[in-house]
Structure 1
C-alpha cells in the first residue's frame, strides 16, 4: 500500500497571506512568468514589452522618491531647529545667572532672533546677545499679540465725544 506523506495534508500547510501591495519584486516575477510562458509562435509584442518595462521603471522611481521623502520628513521631525523655529520673534523669560559667581541674577526677558543647535540641543539666540537652551525658557510671549483686557479696562466708561 502507498503511504501519503503527512506534510501534504492541508492542515499542515502554512497559511499564506496575500499582500495588498504590488512591489517591484512582484512586478518582475509577473513579467518573467509572462516571458517564460508565452507562446513561441506568437511572442509578446515589442511595444507591449517596452510599455511594461517603462511601467516597471516608473514604479521603481516612485518607490525611490517615496523613500527619499519619508527620510526627509523624518529628519525634519527630529531636527531641534525645525522643532523650535516657531519661537522666532517671541519674547522668552528665563532665569539669568551671574557669570562670575554662578548665582541666580533674576529673571530676564528678551526676543528670540535665531534658533541653532549644538550637540542635538536647541539653542535660542536672543536679541540681548545671550544664548539659552530652549528648555530653559520659563515663559514665552508673543509681543504682537494683545491679550485679553483686564476687567477694569473692560468696564471703563468711554470718553464722551464732543
Structure 2
C-alpha cells in the first residue's frame, strides 16, 4: 500500500510546530505519536487503506523505542546510585595507605621506597631497576628467585655509585625471569590517600595520592 510521507500530510506541520520549545526535537512522546497516527490514517488512500498488520507494526515500533528510552533512563539512575555508593565507600580511603599499580615510587627523606610485584608463576630471578630523570639506571635491587604471588621490595636510596639519592619520585621497573626469558612486571607502590575526586557519570573516580599525584581508582590494588 502507499502511505503519504509525513511532509505531505496536511496538518502535520502544525502539530510539530506546537510541540514544547524546550523539548528535544528528536524526542517523540506518546501524545505526538497518536496525533501523527490519526493524521496518517485520515490521509491514507481509501482504495488502499492501511492493513491491520502495518498499523500494529507501527505501534509495536513506537512501543519498542519508548521502552528503550525508559530502560536507558533506568540505567542512568542506577549508574548515579552506584556512583554515590562508591563515593561513600571510597571516602573511607582518605588517610589510608594503598598499594597502586604505578611505575613510579616515592623515596622519602631518610626513608625507603616500598613496593611490590605480583608473579603469576615462580621466577628464577627478580630485580627492580630505579631510574633517574635522564632515564639512566640509578640503582638496582636484586631479589633473586621468588615464588608465585606477591613479591615485596624496598630501596633505601643507595645508588649504584654508593651515594644517597635525594628524596623524590623515581621511575621503577620490575624484571622477572621465567624459563630463561626475562619479562617486565607491573610495579605496585605504596602511598597515602590525600583526597578523592568524583568523575562525571561514566567516568572513573580519581584518587589523589600524597606523593605520587592522581591515579585512577581502578589502579588501587590493595588497601592497607
TM normalised by structure 2 equals 0.33
* Greater relative CO (CA pairs within 8 A, separation 6+): 2
Larger radius of gyration: 1
Q: Which structure's residues are more often strand, by fraction?
A: 2
Structure number with the higher helix fraction is 1
